[in-house]
């Protein structure tokens, strides 16, 4: 290791809404035990006939996070964002105005937005005319409204933004939060992403592009199988993930415990194709190298990689080549946790950051489930079948890649706070 500055920024809170649970304990248990959140869409659901398998998050009463008539008209992505953010701030023990100046806390909460709500309103207008369109449409579905609603609910008056880099958006939100804290433009940043893609039109476009897993209706838990020879597409999932990032000095001043240090990040673009990654993994490899350089680490310092691993033929092979480019023949242990959650689009990146951090804290690396017959073209040090003990690792990496060629890698290490979260 060449000397890191990773103790400057720490994670002090996390909140998740996923197909396998809403608490860190539930999510990690599912990852380690192979408890899948994938199932067949129920008859009559919005996905019936459009997707064989999907990852459904738990029901959330909109009235539990929003009051008044707006609770009835906001998109599910906003509801999940509000729940995950509230849980993350509570986990961090932060009340805005008491623990942090309202102008010194920011929120970067991304997502595709409420496309299902927009589509429903288009149908309503077709059926009932222009007066049938809800006046709450825009505040109920715009992509920035996750961040805006979180800011309004918690009185966050500092920097506020959302990022539109598809499946890389959640991870990029964390990286931009790190940048904001390093620039001393905030003491705390709420970073995350929420996605609600489980509706017919979005599933249909993935299906017609032959990107969805197929032939798994009889065994839905086996449909998402990153790096496996039998993989034939991704499984759509819904969810949200939020991390509370904080300057270490600020966390120590309020006697807060840290989960992990956010040591560095990298961002690149393949500049290759709107939907497929560079086949040689060139941009992804450059992204990982940038993250290592930013963290002032060498490849040998990384003890685990949480792969983007979507279960698509070209994507998994391209990421394998990228990891080989960076780490050589002796790559660190790798796993892809979308096998149990499905692909929650941009939200996957934040949840996978949380999983990477929890694996580091516990010294237990989750496996890639359904990896029964590894693709010879994806010959990495895969963690298979059961978790792998790794008590001695010091740093981990999480990868997220998105349509448009967006690549994000983040590196986490042990927290520099006086107090650490218990295992």
Active site residues: 167, 308, 343
Count of C-beta atoms within a 10 Å radius of residue 22: 20
- Provide Rg for the chain, Cα atoms: 20
Report which of 163, 14, 152, 17 is spatially closest to residue 81, judged by C-alpha positions: 17
């Amino acid at each position: 290791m060449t000397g890191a500055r990773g103790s400057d920024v720490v994670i002090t809170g996390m909140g998740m809404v996923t197909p396998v649970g809403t608490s860190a304990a539930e999510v990690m248990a599912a990852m380690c035990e192979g408890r899948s959140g994938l199932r067949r869409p129920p008859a009559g659901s919005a996905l019936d006939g459009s997707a064989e398998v999907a990852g459904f998050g738990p029901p959330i009463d909109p009235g539990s996070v929003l009051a008044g008539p707006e609770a009835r008209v906001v998109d599910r992505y906003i509801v999940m964002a509000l729940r995950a953010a509230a849980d993350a701030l509570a986990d961090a023990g932060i009340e805005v105005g008491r623990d942090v100046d309202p102008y010194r806390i920011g929120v970067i909460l991304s997502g595709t937005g409420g496309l299902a709500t927009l589509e429903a309103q288009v149908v309503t207008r077709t059926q009932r005319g222009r007066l049938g369109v809800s006046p709450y449409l825009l505040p109920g579905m715009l992509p920035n409204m996750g961040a805006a609603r979180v800011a309004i609910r918690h009185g966050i008056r500092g920097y506020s933004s959302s990022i539109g880099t598809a499946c890389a958006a959640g991870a990029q939100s964390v990286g931009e939060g790190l940048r904001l804290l390093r620039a001393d433009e905030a003491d705390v940043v709420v970073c995350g992403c929420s996605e609600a893609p489980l509706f017919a039109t979005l599933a249909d476009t993935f299906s017609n592009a032959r990107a969805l897993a197929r032939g798994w209706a009889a065994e839905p838990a086996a449909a998402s199988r990153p790096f496996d020879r039998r993989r034939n597409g991704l499984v759509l999932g819904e969810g949200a993930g939020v991390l509370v990032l904080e300057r270490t000095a600020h966390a120590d001043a309020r006697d807060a415990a840290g989960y992990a240090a956010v040591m560095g990040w990298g961002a690149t673009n393949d500049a290759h194709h709107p939907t497929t990654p560079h086949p040689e993994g060139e941009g992804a490899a450059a992204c990982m190298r940038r993250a290592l350089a930013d963290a002032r680490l060498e490849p040998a310092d990384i003890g685990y990689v949480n792969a983007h691993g979507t279960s698509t033929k070209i994507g998994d092979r391209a990421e394998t080549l990228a990891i080989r480019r960076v780490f050589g023949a002796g790559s660190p242990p790798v796993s892809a946790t979308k096998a149990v959650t499905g692909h929650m689009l941009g939200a996957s990146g934040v949840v996978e950051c949380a999983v990477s951090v929890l694996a580091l804290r516990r010294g237990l690396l989750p496996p890639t489930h359904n990896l029964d017959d590894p693709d010879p073209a994806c010959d990495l040090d895969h963690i298979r079948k059961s978790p792998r003990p790794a008590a001695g690792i010091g740093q981990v990496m999480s990868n997220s890649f998105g349509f448009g060629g967006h690549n994000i890698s983040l590196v986490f290490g042990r927290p520099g706070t006086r107090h650490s979260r218990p295992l």
